[in-house]
Amino acid sequence: MADRIYLRHSTDKQTDARQRHALAALLAAGAPVYEDPATSSRRLSLDRAGFTRLLHEAAVGDTIRIADAARLFRSVADILALRPVLARRGLHLRVESGLLSGIDLASDDPGTKMMVSVLAAVLEFQRDMISENTREGVAAAQTAGKTLGRPTALDTGQAADVVAAYRSGTAIKALARQHHVAPKTIRRILDSARARQLPDRLHTLPRQRDPHRLDDVAGRGRSPPRSPASRWACWCTGRRRRPRVEGYRQRAIRGRICSSSPVVPTHHRPSPGTGASPVKIAFPATGTASLRQPTRVRRSAYIV
């Protein structure tokens, strides 16, 4: 049978000096130490890396030594999940200081079980009171106008200069190099000022004039409307959107689409016997076909 020491503290600003002082005799004897530094008590003991390693390395009959019961568990649910594991592995749990120093907390007798449950309930109540006092203190400090946490890297005037420079066109990385901060700090300042959000109406943004675009030359906000022959040709080719420049315009230049030819849509086709000729569609490979029924053209077609 061997003794195994377990140490834990909640935050990185705390130390385990008090626990080591209570366990000084065992440390001098060379007992192995297992630690969980900066680990919250809300995390169950079976989920902690240091205590899990202790369970894997412990043998039957070994004793787990802790300086305070709160270093291992602070809730009823934690101790109720821990005691069956210790019992199956044949391990003992003892506290080195206080009224519980002579009691094996892993024992299965009813008296120990009741005492451990009451102790865990008291420790859980103590932890909840500490959390409640902390929240009240933070709320009081915020009401008084105090700034919590570490100081900001840039003051209010520098943050306003960053926002103005970004809106004038300066890049985020350039602003970070200029103020000797990380780009994430610049993005946080811009997000707090809502400088990187798009406006609700995108058409309110000023648009730069491009003389090479047809809509800018015409002075309109959209492209010029197409002729009925162009729209009919796009429907025959299966293109709902505006054709690309290298497709529709080149075919129009070659004369494959003749806008001067009369176009009769299929849904306005004259009924048989009226003497009107149906629409003629010329396929590049199969010649001329006559559409007397409203059939969807799947292949590339051109009006002749």
Catalytic residue IDs: 10
Coil vs helix vs strand at 90? coil
For CA atoms 288, 291, 297, 303, the dihedral sign is positive
Of 69, 45, 77, 65, the residue nearest 123 (C-alpha): 69
Q: Which two tokens stand for residue 3?
A: 């003794």
Q: What would the DSSP string read from start to end of 164-230?
A: HHHHTT--HHHHHHHHTS-HHHHHHHHHHTT-SSPPS-GGGS-----TTSHHHHHT-SSPPPPPHHH
Coil vs helix vs strand at 244? coil
> First CA to last CA across the chain, in angstroms?
101
Q: Is 65 exposed, middle or buried (0-12, 13-18, 19+ CB in 10 A)?
A: buried
Q: Which two tokens stand for residue 65?
A: 């030594």
